[in-house]
Amino acid sequence: MQPDYRFNYSLDTTQKANKLGQKPLLIWITGLSASGKSTLANELDLLFFNNGYKSVVLDGDTLRKGTNSDLGFAETDRTENIRRTAEISKLFLQSGMIVLAPLISPNKIDREMVKNIVGEEYFFMVFLDIDIKICESRDPKGLYAKARRGEIQDFTGIHQQYEKPIDANLTFKDDFNISDAAMTIFNEYKRLL
Amino acid sequence: MQPDYRFNYSLDTTQKANKLGQKPLLIWITGLSASGKSTLANELDLLFFNNGYKSVVLDGDTLRKGTNSDLGFAETDRTENIRRTAEISKLFLQSGMIVLAPLISPNKIDREMVKNIVGEEYFFMVFLDIDIKICESRDPKGLYAKARRGEIQDFTGIHQQYEKPIDANLTFKDDFNISDAAMTIFNEYKRLL
């Protein structure tokens, strides 16, 4: 057989997902800083893993150290950060994976962009609707304190508005329990299969 | 149990790879335009798939339509394109996947960067050492013709030098057969397990 240099075949999402035996889904977790997004994403990752599903956490903070290390925190950079995270999510979805993406993503327009990039059927939004006073009282990285002192600009909830989603698939309130929330999302995922 | 907001646990590469039952590896395919990189990557993807391995193709051209759509073809943009592809590869490796990355990547320094980003033990370089006359005679996208007419600048092999790697794990020459090459790489992968 001679080499065929026309790029005319490749495996599609369905074939890869079928092989993994699961439905690819982007679970986008939005909420204020210190609302529990990354903790929930990791709890979910563990839950999926222990139940034989293949998932990946695309954490906003982690991506900023790698793929998105050229970006800052100005409005346009934050949008670009979200756009690239959505595009990377799409690559994982095309491989049949479940993607867990904890990002503040304060703007409705950016969350809409994510949905458009990956496709509505692959998009599942979880909103951690936690009062800013609670988030600020936790402040594990001291970011709220820095923002109040003016050492950080563009901080969501202080300098920048957080636009609460009204179309989230699931919303958790102030006193939610991480393990229970993870289990609720996991059960919802299985209902979608 | 109260929520634990310290980000103190997550699954590591080894655990995820063990679950998938394979060794994560970045197979980086370098060579001139029209040397057969994408065709080989897709043939390999199919071969891995049919043998029960989980792989993904991160094609330079495809990424440029998504994650890297903000980049052009100037020297610094090409390096940034390669850097991000390496970072995205790392995310897939951390999920236990095999990554097939066909990119021209003409500069030694950029290929070294890729190896440093993903880690030497996860890096496997395949060099398609095809004479430029052969590539130019194929020219499936008409790019060589455009470059000769001056309609494309910065074209590798015409305006920009291609630095041949001397440290590739496997090198294929002018008359290589795509199916045979894919099988050779696949067998080499299995030897690494």
pLDDT tens string B137-185: 999 999 999 999 999 888 999 999 999 999 999 999 999 999 999 999 9
Burial A111-144 (b: 16+ CB within 10 A, else e): bebbbebbeeebbbbbbbbbebeebbeebeeebb
Backbone φ and ψ of A37, nearest 5°:
-60, -50
d(CA B107, CA B115): 13
- Report CB contact under 8 Å: B94, A56: yes
Residue A37 sits in a domain of what CATH number?
3.40.50.300
Q: How many domains does chain A have?
A: 1
Structure confidence by residue, pLDDT tens digits, B76-113: 899 999 999 999 999 999 999 999 999 999 999 999 99
B186 inside domain:
yes
Three-state secondary structure of chain A: CCCCCCCCCCCCHHHHHHHHCCCCEEEEEEECCCCCHHHHHHHHHHHHHHCCCCEEECCHHHHHHCCCCCCCCCHHHHHHHHHHHHHHHHHHHHCCCEEEEECCCCCHHHHHHHHHHHCHHHEEEEEEECCHHHHHHHCCCCHHHHHHCCCCCCCECCCECCCCCCCCCEEEECCCCHHHHHHHHHHHHHHHC
A2 inside domain:
no
A vs B, Cβ pairs < 8 A, gives: 117
B10 inside domain:
no
A148 inside domain:
yes
What's the domain range around B93?
A: 20-192
B25 inside domain:
yes
Chain B residues inside the 8 Å CB shell of A70: 80
Angle between helix B178-192 and helix B37-50 axes, rounded to 10 deg? 50
d(CA B45, CA B53): 9
The model's confidence at residue A2, banded by pLDDT at 50, 70 and 90, is very low
Which of B88, B90, B117, B141 would you mutate first to test chain A, the one with the most A CBs within 10 A?
B88
Kindly state the tokens that stand for A137.
Answer: 């009282």
pTM across the whole model: 0.90
CB-based contact A3:A133 (threshold 8 Å): no
- Catalytic center residues of B: 105
Nearest Cβ partner for B34 among A5, A16, A138:
A5
- Report CB contact under 8 Å: A178, B58: no
B15 inside domain:
no
The model's confidence at residue B10, banded by pLDDT at 50, 70 and 90, is low
Predicted pLDDT of residue B107: 96
d(CA A178, CA A126): 13
Which of B7, B69, B80 would you mutate first to test chain A, the one with the most A CBs within 10 A?
B7
Q: What is the mean pLDDT of chain A?
A: 90
- Report CB contact under 8 Å: B3, A66: no
* Residue A15: pLDDT over 90: no
Structure confidence by residue, pLDDT tens digits, A59-109: 887 888 888 888 988 888 999 999 999 999 999 999 999 999 999 999 999
Q: Which neighbouring-strand residues pair with A129?
A: A173
CB-based contact B100:B41 (threshold 8 Å): yes
ipTM over 0.90: no
The side-by-side arrangement of strands in the sheet containing A98-102 is: A55-57, A98-102, A25-31, A123-129, A170-173
In the chain, the amino acid numbered A176 is: F
